[in-house]
């Protein structure tokens, strides 16, 4: 082969190699950076650590399907009232029709509404478990959320089960108006009947827990638990400051501030939550059996 032909062939091979290399891309979603301490970590390692930063204990958002895995014993979760879904009784429209928003949320999350309810075992102890999901319209409490939680509590009362509700919500769902506000009283009344039977209720407040959820069932527990650094509030900072004409502390709406002022019983890291809840359940069982 002459030198000129060899050079042409070599250039062709190099061109093809360069072209294939240029098409290579780094897969997305393999790494994530903690926005609190800056730690760069492998996404799978973060997931295996319950979506908690191993360096600074920063709690990343976690949604209902993952929380079922984190709380319930493997294979023990049995959902109830899965098919309940909201209608649009007020024919509400802002930028979009409320009915359209519901369809979009169902498509994006795979959920019919902002809470999953069911029974499960936690270290072998049968419990009624409700888990709110912030992805569905900010975890807002509409008629379906209130109805599913009420039915869960009534089942727990009938079957003498302890209840754990993982709270994550922006508050009442404005698209349902007064129908949404009614859920506060309905769920609270069901919890009162549950307590009358000396049964245990533990709300777990995650970030954020605000508005009508904070003003009702989130603060009615026998033990009130929160995750570290969770935002917990009824009204927003600006509204309160404008009302009282004073500046609020920087950490005013945090779990740590509420714990310091006696509104919470425990602040528990997500990595320890199942173990600590199990200890509370066992202690309650031993007390009630005396």
37 marked ligand binding residue: yes
Q: What is the DSSP string of the chain?
A: --HHHHHHHHHHHHHHHHHHHHT--PPTTSEEE-TTT--EEEHHHHHHTTTB-TTT--B----HHHHHHHHSPTT--EE-STT-----TT--BSSSBHHHHHHHHHHHHS-SSSEEEEEEEETTEEEEEEEE-TTTGGG-B-HHHHHHHHHHHHHHHHHT--EEEEEEE-SB-GGGTHHHHHHHHHHHHHHHHHHHTT--EEEEEEEEE-HHHHTTGGG--SS-EE-TT-BB-SS-HHHHHHHHTSPPPTTTTBHHHHHHTTS-SEE--GGGHHHHHHHHHHHHHHHHT-
2 is in an annotated binding site: no
Residues forming the annotated binding site for Zn(2+)?
34, 37, 53, 56
Numbered residues of the known binding site: 34, 37, 53, 56
């Amino acid at each position: 082969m002459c030198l000129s032909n060899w050079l042409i062939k070599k250039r062709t091979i190099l061109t093809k190699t360069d072209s294939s290399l240029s098409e290579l891309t780094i897969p997305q979603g393999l790494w994530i950076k903690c926005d609190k301490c800056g730690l760069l970590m492998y996404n799978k390692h973060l997931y295996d650590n319950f979506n908690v930063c191993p360096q600074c204990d920063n709690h990343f958002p976690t949604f209902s399907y993952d929380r079922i895995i984190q709380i319930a014993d493997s294979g023990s979760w049995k959902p109830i009232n899965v098919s309940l879904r909201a209608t649009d009784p007020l024919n509400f429209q802002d930028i979009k029709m409320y009915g359209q928003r519901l369809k979009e949320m169902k498509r994006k999350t795979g959920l019919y509404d902002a809470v999953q309810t069911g029974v499960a075992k936690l270290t072998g102890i049968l419990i009624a478990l409700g888990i709110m999901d912030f992805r569905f319209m900010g975890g807002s409490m509409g008629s379906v959320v209130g109805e599913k939680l009420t039915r869960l509590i009534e089942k727990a009362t009938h079957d003498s089960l302890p209840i754990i509700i993982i709270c994550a919500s922006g508050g009442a769902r404005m698209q349902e108006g007064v129908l949404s506000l009614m859920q506060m009283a309905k769920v609270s009344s069901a919890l009162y009947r549950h307590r009358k039977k000396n049964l245990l209720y533990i709300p777990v407040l995650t970030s954020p827990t605000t508005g009508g959820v904070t003003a009702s069932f989130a603060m009615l527990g026998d033990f009130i638990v929160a995750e570290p650094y969770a935002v917990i509030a009824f009204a927003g900072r600006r509204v309160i400051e404008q009302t009282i004409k004073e500046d609020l502390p920087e950490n005013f709406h945090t779990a740590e501030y509420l714990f310091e002022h006696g509104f919470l019983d425990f602040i528990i890291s997500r990595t320890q939550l199942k173990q600590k809840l199990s200890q509370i359940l066992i202690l309650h069982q031993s007390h009630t059996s005396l």
